[in-house]
Amino acid sequence: MTDEWLEELPLDICMQHLREHSVGRIAFAVGDGPLVFPVNYLLVEGPGAQWLAIRARPGGVIDRAPVQVAFEIDQIDTARKQGWSVLVRGTLHRIDADAADFRNRFDPEPWVLAERDSWLAIAPFAITGRALHAAAIDWAFHVRAYL
């Protein structure tokens, strides 16, 4: 077998993954330690800027998160021992959902709609990704031996 290998993903592949998915995890530190929560999100891309739109419960833990946050998405294939992840580090901003038609244009459509009236955006200052590629299996027998 050849060894598995770890690849740093280029920004365009990271952005592609962020475009194709809608569920990730937001993480931030609070006084008694780090917290991580699953959230629905929408990647919003504009001229020279991108950010992640999320909705939270007003006054809830995510709504009270500090300014510095991390956001992560991934896909894991446990059977083949491979996968990828994208990490976004950025600043969390509270958004007026009625401004600039934000509510209609950038809704991340959370799975749980009840009380998700706090609109937030993560403005990235770093987007990085990694992919773990499985080891290639060297077969002991050649396929022609069975024909």
Residue-range domains of the chain with CATH: 5-146 (2.30.110.10)
Question: So what's the pLDDT on residue 114?
Answer: 62
In the predicted model, is pLDDT for residue 49 greater than 60?
A: yes
Return all residues near 69 (Cβ < 8 A) that are at least 6 apart: 26, 27, 28, 89, 90, 91, 92, 122
Cα-flanking dihedrals φ and ψ of residue 63, to 5°? -65, -30
User: pTM above 0.85?
Assistant: no
Give percent of the chain above pLDDT 70: 78
